Amino acid sequence: DQTIQSKANELYWNNNNDWKKRHCAVTTITQISDHMISESNEVGASITKILQLFSNDKNYRIKYASINAIGQLSNDHFELLSDKFTQQILMSLKSALSLDNDIKIQTHSCAALINFVPPLEQQQ
């Protein structure tokens, strides 16, 4: 778990110019996040922060993949996200709705919001 987290952090913070490597990091996190988060909420928090950073990437493929991951985590691990990251998640998804973004990113952000908002409303 720590290896994947550190590699994803490295790919983001080193401003890696190869979008394929950044995309691989996000996709890997998406695929294994369910198992990683069930073991540790700290890992879940770290993953969420990484995905938020990637959701602001210049490359539309990276944005799309990170928003997909946020939507999946919202569906699978809402309690973790809502406890610690409500405002950050909402801001990331709102930003993705910008008309400056590709239509695929906008629609995927809408889908992620659909996964995130109804349980949030039920909590209140």
Q: Given this model, what pLDDT does residue 122 score?
A: 77
CB atoms within 10 A of CB 57: 18
Tens of pLDDT, residue by residue, the chain (124 residues): 566 667 666 666 566 678 888 888 888 878 877 666 655 566 677 777 778 888 888 888 999 999 998 888 887 777 777 667 788 888 888 998 988 888 999 999 999 988 888 777 777 6
Q: Given this model, what pLDDT does residue 78 score?
A: 75
Tokens in use for 68?
């997909």
Which residue type sits at 59? N
Closest residue by Cα to residue 67 from 118, 122, 34, 75: 75
| This prediction's pTM | 0.80
Query: What CA–CA distance (Å, rounded) separates 8 from 94?
Result: 24
Q: Given this model, what pLDDT does residue 65 score?
A: 92
Q: Given this model, what pLDDT does residue 103 score?
A: 92
Burial of 94 (0-12, 13-18, 19+ CB in 10 A): exposed
Q: Given this model, what pLDDT does residue 3 score?
A: 65
Tell me the DSSP string of the chain: -HHHHHHHHHHHHTT-S-HHHHHHHHHHHHHHHHHHHHH-HHHHHHHHHHHHHHTT-SSHHHHHHHHHHHHHHHHH-HHHHHHHHHHHHHHHHHHHTSTTS-HHHHHHHHHHHHHHHHHHHHH-
